Structure 1
């Protein structure tokens, strides 16, 4: 008579599944899997968009944005094993998108106006084809906003936050965001540092304040779009906007070839906006301390 050891086999199988689940629930693991998935999707859709017309590009960008949102949701839901309240659609998504757009509008208008008042920029309307300028800028800004925010504030921020708390997450993701832009045209150490402060800190503070990805995606999208439409280089990338910009002031004021992000003005303005966000986030209990169990 052959004896079976089915209960033991079942126990071993359960243990293996538990270990595998615990492996993927570790923050750095689900962060890396999610980041790789988003990067792969982004590279694929960028390749597919080659030589498409304006309408085709915007449609493909919208599809690509939906795909990276799906990848983010899958990573959080099935690897991190956590709810995803920051992705709630319904009415809150609309209000968060609107609020993010308002913050971006204030940030860019105030920063640009101050630089103009200090004789750093002068603008002249460009008489080119408006639609040929607007749609490529919107397409590029939309793709960048979804990909960068889901990677840096969605995955990286929350993974680090679970291991070391909110302040460590804010510090490291801000530094990483600045470093990631050092490869851009015209980038300098100051340019990377300024990106870390005005974009890394501001967008990180915005996420802590609202705990909603639609808010930060909207803020990031309109920020880049307005810069591009004004004809100002976006983090070193030249933009054929609706205006021709003449840069007449010192680099510290204007940002030089790197654009608005390397100007001291938006660095200061971003901190003026970010600090109240952080204070409000703390009052709401949105700041997480260092946890003993990072899962």
Structure 2
């Protein structure tokens, strides 16, 4: 039987409706829902730490805080996986257990080299001089530095590189995703102690672009979290303020010279040196990411 024009129109409308995505599958929706869930988990972890474990003394407090941070991090990863599976309707190869240790280790090495080179250049220019803090409790300082760095690395990378970068990438492509996430990451640090418009720009480049480039290159969140973790931990252990937050540190740092060299009260990230060093690392990563994409397109 020949179909009438009305039948054809109904079939056309039905086909459009059947292929239309549910509203929760749109990138902006799963990005926002996942971000809220991860931030909530992180906030609950901090609240639990403050109410239950702060009264403990010395290293007992530090160990308890580290355990809470690890638990909150695992819960945040679970929220991320559930968001991707049930809202974005995709798997999470960027958090695959396969090679997780290797990727995290490579990221830790990259972050350590980045901070070590940046610090040595500033010290060689006379901006920093270090002296061992003999009164520091090494165990306590180590646990505190690791705990703080681990929390920031896991929560921030799941949100910015895991959710935001991938959502924007899906909507507008790699370059737009890198630019938007970098700007947001820099702006998110404007409220920190000692922050200026320059420090926000510096964070946009050295952290936003470097971490974004690292993810686009490796397509692996373990790598990016390892890089971020080593960055904050090493800074903290050296006694350098981490994005305006003064650490206990194993060293006391004497700062000399202009803030453009030393970073001033904001710390290392406010210096022009890591901005340059980060670009020297990020540009090869972006070239590698472009080559990987072209290779996949040929398959």
Instruction: Give the TM-score taking structure 2 as reference length.
Output: 0.88
- Contact 1:174/1:201 (8 A) holds in 2: yes
CA distance in 2, matches of 1:48, 1:287: 47
> Which residue does 1:61 correspond to in 2?
69
After superposition, the CA RMSD in angstroms is 1.8
Instruction: Summarize deviations over 1:40-93 as a string: whole Å, max 9, x none.
Output: 111101000111511111111111000000000000111000121101113x11
1:117-136 counterparts in 2 under 5 A? 117-127=124-134, 128-136=136-144
Aligned partner of residue 140 in structure 2, secondary structure: helix
Instruction: Summarize deviations over 1:225-260 as a string: whole Å, max 9, x none.
Output: 000000000000011100000001210000000000
- Contact 1:23/1:29 (8 A) holds in 2: yes
Is structure 2 residue 276 aligned with structure 1 residue 281? no
**Structure 2 CA distance for partners of 1:134 and 1:16, relative to 1, 3 Å:** farther
**Structure 2 CA distance for partners of 1:287 and 1:219, relative to 1, 3 Å:** farther
- Contact 1:30/1:79 (8 A) holds in 2: yes
Is structure 2 residue 188 aligned with structure 1 residue 176? no
Post-superposition offset of 1:16 = 9.9
CA distance in 1, matches of 2:18, 2:63: 46
**Structure 2 CA distance for partners of 1:288 and 1:34, relative to 1, 3 Å:** farther
CA distance in 1, matches of 2:203, 2:255: 20
**Structure 2 CA distance for partners of 1:106 and 1:223, relative to 1, 3 Å:** same
Unaligned runs of 5+ in 1: 1-14, 290-295
> Which residue does 2:5 correspond to in 1?
none
Q: Figure out how many residues of one structure are paired with residues of the other and give that number.
A: 273
Q: Runs of 4 or more off by more than 6 Å in structure 1?
A: 15-19, 286-289
CA distance in 1, matches of 2:296, 2:35: 22
CA distance in 2, matches of 1:157, 1:35: 12
> Which residue does 1:10 correspond to in 2?
none
Instruction: Summarize deviations over 1:132-191 as a string: whole Å, max 9, x none.
Output: 211111111100100000000000000000000000000000000000000000000000
- Contact 1:86/1:211 (8 A) holds in 2: yes
CA distance in 2, matches of 1:172, 1:287: 26
CA distance in 2, matches of 1:134, 1:195: 25
CA distance in 2, matches of 1:130, 1:163: 47
- Contact 1:208/1:287 (8 A) holds in 2: no
> Which residue does 2:276 correspond to in 1?
268
Unaligned runs of 5+ in 2: 1-15
**Structure 2 CA distance for partners of 1:18 and 1:285, relative to 1, 3 Å:** closer
